[in-house]
Structure 1
Amino acid sequence: MPTTCPRWANDRERDRFVNLTLQHMSDVAERLDDYPEQFEPLFGTREEEGQELTIVGEWCFGYMRGVGLGSWPALPAELQAELDIIALHGTEAQFPAVEALSVDDFLASVERIKPAALALYQYWTEHAQPAEVPQPIRNDAKVGRNDPCPCGQR
């Protein structure tokens, strides 16, 4: 994870980046809400020995990075299993498990990523935590000029 903030040439460049990022986030949320059948994780591909291979690790690592940034509370067991599908391809600790998969098991696990992401999105949409709105600080009523002092002094 980067430890430094981006350096922008000027405020306009920064604002453009932020606006494009928010537009993209809004577009993705709208598609997931209204057209989930159109959702496709953007996996990379690589050609090896004349075969095109799907690279899911980058997408899954990005997803897990977002999970870490979001500080998700514990999930119900059935949804934890969905997150585990993504984590299988998105955490270094799972490298040995991925390497031990047969080709058929690997392909089956890749096919489960999309439904897992959709199920997790649906869950968090239904169980969204309301943002904490800071409450204004209220002082006790002020003592009037002719009122007795609350400390008991005369």
Structure 2
Amino acid sequence: MESRLDLSIPLDDFEFDELETFLSSLESDLSIMNISEFDGFITAVVSGPKSIPAEEWLPVVWGGRAQPSSLESTDDFERISGLMMRHMNTTAVTLMDDPESYDPWFMENEVKGKAYLVVDDWCIGYMKAVMLRPDAWRLDDPATMDLMSPIPLFTTSDGWNLLEQLADRHIEYLQNQVAAAARLIHEHWLGRRETFRPPEGHRVH
């Protein structure tokens, strides 16, 4: 029996957990490791100067390899890819219609009873998507890199070495600038790229 999968519905907590479980099961070191990294990745996919089709970015999620064995069945593939597409659409619509409510999916680590924000995974995911279209992103343009700051800082050894020399309050300030940078980047490219139109749904059997 044929039904219609609505790709405009935001994921609920159970579905986020399901997607997190799938991502953590991927065996490639190059794959998207967790929901925070995926959130950063998909944010850049919908924010950049060039559209990136799902058939190109989906393999990046599982590390540039063939489709994982856990998705061999059509039903499993439809389920997981549907969750990813829905989160992509939610992110795109939020950034277009209500950017101030956009809230990146950062992680937290607890050390000696104190919670510390972790933005590295999100930023790494973001830059993975950027590198799918590096020329279009104009990474050699200082103005572009200034706009993207501080996202790249949290993704490289040089950046991490620099962060280690900063006071906690300065690191927290830079972390808090990541969400603002994501909004500004989306706004910057919005009028310079083909309009991203989230699909309304697709047919599943």
1:113 alignment partner AA: V
Map 1:1-154 onto structure 2 (within 5 A).
Answer: 1=30, 2-5=63-66, 6-7=68-69, 8-71=71-134, 72-74=136-138, 77-128=142-193
1:74 alignment partner AA: R
Q: Single out whichever of 14-23 and 74-83 deviates more from structure 2.
A: 74-83
Where has structure 1 moved over 6 Å in runs of 4 or more? none
1:34 alignment partner AA: D
Once residues 22 and 3 of structure 1 are traced to their aligned partners in structure 2, the CA distance between those partners, rounded to angstroms, is 18
CA contact (8 A) 2:137 2:144 kept: no
CA contact (8 A) 2:138 2:144 kept: no
Give unpaired runs (5+ residues) of structure 2: 1-29, 31-62, 196-205
2:154 alignment partner AA: H
**Displacement of 1:129 after TM fit?**
5.2
**Displacement of 1:38 after TM fit?**
0.9
Once residues 12 and 50 of structure 1 are traced to their aligned partners in structure 2, the CA distance between those partners, rounded to angstroms, is 42
Count matched residues: 131
The superposition leaves residues 62-90 of structure 1 with CA deviations (integer Å, 9 ceiling, x where unpaired) of 11111112334315533321323101112
Give unpaired runs (5+ residues) of structure 1: 131-154
2:94 alignment partner AA: R
Once residues 35 and 120 of structure 1 are traced to their aligned partners in structure 2, the CA distance between those partners, rounded to angstroms, is 15
1:93 alignment partner AA: D
Please give the secondary structure, in 1, of the residue aligned with 2:108. Answer: strand
Q: Single out whichever of 64-73 and 85-94 deviates more from structure 2.
A: 64-73
Q: Single out whichever of 73-82 and 111-120 deviates more from structure 2.
A: 73-82
CA contact (8 A) 1:62 1:90 kept: no
The superposition leaves residues 89-113 of structure 1 with CA deviations (integer Å, 9 ceiling, x where unpaired) of 1223311111111112111111111
Once residues 99 and 83 of structure 2 are traced to their aligned partners in structure 1, the CA distance between those partners, rounded to angstroms, is 22
CA contact (8 A) 1:56 1:89 kept: yes
Greater relative contact order: 1 or 2 (C-alpha under 8 angstroms, separation 6 or more)? 2
CA contact (8 A) 2:109 2:115 kept: yes
Once residues 84 and 115 of structure 1 are traced to their aligned partners in structure 2, the CA distance between those partners, rounded to angstroms, is 10
When the two chains are superposed, the root-mean-square deviation of aligned CA atoms in Å is 2.1
**Displacement of 1:57 after TM fit?**
0.7
1:111 alignment partner AA: N
